[in-house]
Structure formats: structure tokens, C-alpha cells
Chain A
Amino acid sequence: MARDSSISLEDFEEMLAWLDPDREVAATLYLQLREDLANILKWKGSTDPEGLTDEVFERVARKVHEVRPTYEGDPRLYFRAVANNVAKEDLKKAKTRVPLEGQDLPQQKTTEIDEETVAVEECLQSCLEKLSTENRKLIVAYYVKEKQAKIDNRSELARQLQTSVETLRVRVYRIRKSLRQCIERCLKHKAQEK
């Protein structure tokens, strides 16, 4: 399991133990929490959600010895509160940050994007082969209509599947998530081959 190098091993273990006494469960919770906090920071408009997530874990790790004995409730909510502070500080910094004249943030080159688009397409095709026929049909049916007509289409699709639109949306989300994860793994594999 990866941990930020600026966190001591002792603090890190204490933080994991706070999430759950079972280390296996704690490890899973930790990875999940990283992803969730990055999302929350993204929704708050943070400039670098992944980097700020590291910052959250660092801060909690530094305080865990003090907080843990007296804290009541789900520790994940404490992480959220810290994330909230980190996000506010980041937004404040972003407002005072003066962009350097004529110096843009480093962005991906067009050729890199083109190469990646091709790689994404290739990975998508190989990942689709692993998708079950039922799931493939569902995701296609979900996208049959666009704009206004899609609302009616999804209601009809949910009715046919004898479920709610909300549940249908979650089912499609799970399929897309698995596809996305598969594509990411495939892209990583391709990058390592280079």
C-alpha cells in the first residue's frame, strides 16, 4: 500500500488503525477514502484534488495521536472536516495567486493527446470484449437518445427492466466504472511497455 513519504510509518499505522482495527479492512478503507476525498476536493473546486488529498492525510497523520483517543463517531468524518479546511485554504491561495505573464501552466502537447486518444480507443475495444453481452446492451440502450429525448428513453428503459431511473443510472455507472478502470489499467500497461 502506498503512503505519502512525509508521513512516518508509526503515524501511518496509527491512522490505519483508527480507520479499522483489522489492518486488511483498514487498508481497503484507506484506499477508498483517498478516492472519496479527492472527489470531494474536486467538487469544492480545488486546483489539485489528488495533491490536496495527500495534504489531508499528512495533517490527520500528524494529529492522529491527539485526536483518536477523544474523537467520537466515524473517523472518516474527521478526514472530511480536514479536507474542508484544506480546500478553503487552497481556494484562498488560488485567489491571491497572480498568473505569470505569458507563462501558462504546463499542459499536455497535442501529439501526446492524439497518441493517448488512439491508445484509449484500443484499450476500449479490448475492454469491451471483456464486458458481458447484457451489460453491453444496457449501456448502449442507455445512450440511444440524446438531449431531451434521453429522459423519456431512460424512463422507458427503467420500466422495461422493472426498476427505477435512479437504480438504472447506478447500474450503468457501475458498468462505466468497470470499463474506465479496465481502460486505465490497459493504458498503464501500454505506458510501461514503451
Chain B
Amino acid sequence: MTDALLREFLLGKLNDDECERIENLFLTVSQTKERVLALEQDLIDDFLENTLTEEDRERFLSRYAQTDEQRRQLRITKSIRDWAIAQGRAPQAATAISSSWSRFWTRLRLRPFYIVPIAAAIVIAIVLAIVWLNSRMEQRKHSAVEQELAQLNSPASLRETPPQMISVELKPVTVRSIEPQTELKLRADIGVFELHLPWTKKERYSTYQAELHRVEDDESFMIRNPQAEYEGGNVIRIRLPTHILRRGHYQIHLNGVANDGSLSPAEEYSFAVTG
């Protein structure tokens, strides 16, 4: 007996002989009984989903929705079905994910030789993720410092004199320099160092750029567009907040920026941070 045949039986489409055969089995064989009744439930679902043909729908209504009792049974079946569908919709994705994971772990348990390479791959992925995150954090920190330097060295800021600032003049480094390196001592009462950098080259530029470089670890920050001022010669002022400085040796490379954007040879300055 096929499901299709039993479905026809449930809708009263079979002849007397076929009906008799199925009915006798229904009464005497428990498996057949449950099979027929289970198929009947699916038929009711199809009716509730409105997927029956017009003819089947008519047949269904004349068998399953004639009496108050039958209609009550339909309402009960519908309420069970509606509840199950509503339950299924909400956590469907989570169930699918969890079942995928459980299948994955089941397969893994069956193939232990995969565990070592998979674990190694996971460790490498974690390390790479940590390195990537650190580098992202460093980049953010670096760009925040450069923004602060740009703000502090804007023409408007340079016209003001903050209270916790001291000014220091640095001499350009030459091959024959014999002077001791300038020391900047970090103190709680100092917030900003203003460095005066004399530009000794003949060429003059409308704008300059300075690169602050810490010797010990190659950390560097760019200060763009500082301008030259005349203080008995051309001098470029740059301001450094003390919190970006650490003990160690620093160099400043100062370049003139030509109108076409090209850079002049650099003047070099150096200082040591102590304290």
C-alpha cells in the first residue's frame, strides 16, 4: 500500500473492494492503523495550508468538517500546528547553526587525526588576530598623536602661549658638531616643549615638514605645514606635547616643501629626553 493510495482512501476515492481491504487492515493491524491515522494528520495539514485541489478540498470538507465535533478537532489540530510553526520560526537559524556544529564535532570525533592540524590552524588564526588587533590599535594611537601635533602646530595655536610650555632652541646637526646634545627633562609642570629649529640653508620655502623620530625604536611622527618665522634668521617652531615623549634619543628631520611638492634636503636636529 502506497501513501498515495491511502490518501485516496482517506478522501473516499477508492472502490468498495480496495476500501474493504484497507479497512480490514486498519481494524486488525496496529501498524496500518497508525500509518493511516498519521497520513490523515498530514492530509489535515495540507488542508490547513490550503494546498489541496478544489476537488480534494470538497471531499475533505464533507468528511472532516461536517459536525461540530469534527470542526473542534480541526481547531485543536490547527492550534498545535500553529504553535509548532511559530516555535520553529524563531530559533530556526540557531538550530541550523547548532546542528551544523554538532555534525562538525561528530565528524571530528570520528577522525582524530584531523584534530592536531585543526588545533594548530586555530592557534595560528588566534595569534594572527591578536597581532592584527595590536597593529590596528597602534595605528589608531599613532594617527591620534599626529592629529594632536597638527592641532598644536597650527598657525592659530602657535600664536598662543600655553602656560606649561618651555621653549628650547636646537642647533642643526652637522658633521663637525661638537656641542653636547640638548636634553629635554620631563617634568610634571611642563606640558609642551616648543622647539626652535633654525633653517640654515639658503633656499626658503613657504612651508616645511618635520619628522620626529625616536632612535631607539624607530617610532616617528610627521608634523606637516609648520611655517618659517624670522628671528634674526629663518626659524621653524614646532611644539611637542610631553606625553608623547619617552626617555631616549630623538631626531628631527626638517624639509622644505617646494611649490611642486618636492622636498628639499633635510636639516637634522637631535635631542635627548630625560627625567
**Nearest CB in chain A: distance from B10 CB, A:** 6
Tell me whether B169 is interfacial, beta carbon within 8 Å: no
Tell me whether A93 is interfacial, beta carbon within 8 Å: no
Query: Which residue of chain A is the closest to B81 with respect to CB atoms?
Result: A143
Q: Which of B33, B49, B69 contacts A50 (CB 8 A)?
A: B69
- Whether A45 and B63, one on each chain, are in contact in the complex, defined by CB atoms closer than 8 angstroms, is yes
How far is B99's CA from A140's CA once the two chains are assembled, in angstroms? 15
Tell me whether B88 is interfacial, beta carbon within 8 Å: yes
**Nearest CB in chain A: distance from B110 CB, A:** 15
B-facing residues in A151-186 (Cβ within 8 Å): 160, 166, 169-170, 172-174, 176-177, 179-180, 183-184
Q: Which of A39, A40, A142, A174 contacts B34 (CB 8 A)?
A: A174
Main secondary structure of the interface of B (DSSP, over half): helix
Given contacts A42-B64, A143-B84, A147-B51, contact A77 B27 (CB under 8 A): yes
- Whether B84 and A140, one on each chain, are in contact in the complex, defined by CB atoms closer than 8 angstroms, is yes
Main secondary structure of the interface of A (DSSP, over half): helix
Beyond the given A113-B75, A170-B35, please list 11 additional residue pairs across the A-B interface where CB-CB is below 8 A.
A39-B26, A43-B10, A48-B67, A80-B27, A116-B72, A117-B79, A124-B80, A124-B83, A140-B88, A143-B84, A166-B35
**Nearest CB in chain B: distance from A102 CB, A:** 20
- Whether B27 and A179, one on each chain, are in contact in the complex, defined by CB atoms closer than 8 angstroms, is no
Q: Which of A33, A42, A143 contacts B27 (CB 8 A)?
A: A33
How far is B79's CA from A74's CA once the two chains are assembled, in angstroms? 38
Interface string of B83-95 (1 = CB under 8 A from A): 1110110001001
**Residues in chain A near residue B23, CB distance under 8 A:** 40, 80, 84
**Nearest CB in chain A: distance from B241 CB, A:** 61
- Whether B75 and A116, one on each chain, are in contact in the complex, defined by CB atoms closer than 8 angstroms, is yes
**Nearest CB in chain B: distance from A88 CB, A:** 9
Tell me whether A26 is interfacial, beta carbon within 8 Å: no
**Residues in chain B near residue A173, CB distance under 8 A:** 34, 37-38, 41
How far is B42's CA from A49's CA once the two chains are assembled, in angstroms? 21
**Nearest CB in chain A: distance from B13 CB, A:** 10
Tell me whether B164 is interfacial, beta carbon within 8 Å: no
**Nearest CB in chain A: distance from B62 CB, A:** 6
- Whether B85 and A77, one on each chain, are in contact in the complex, defined by CB atoms closer than 8 angstroms, is no
Query: Which residue of chain A is the closest to B66 with respect to CB atoms?
Result: A47
A-facing residues in B8-44 (Cβ within 8 Å): 9-10, 12, 16, 19-20, 23-24, 26-28, 33-35, 37-39, 41-42
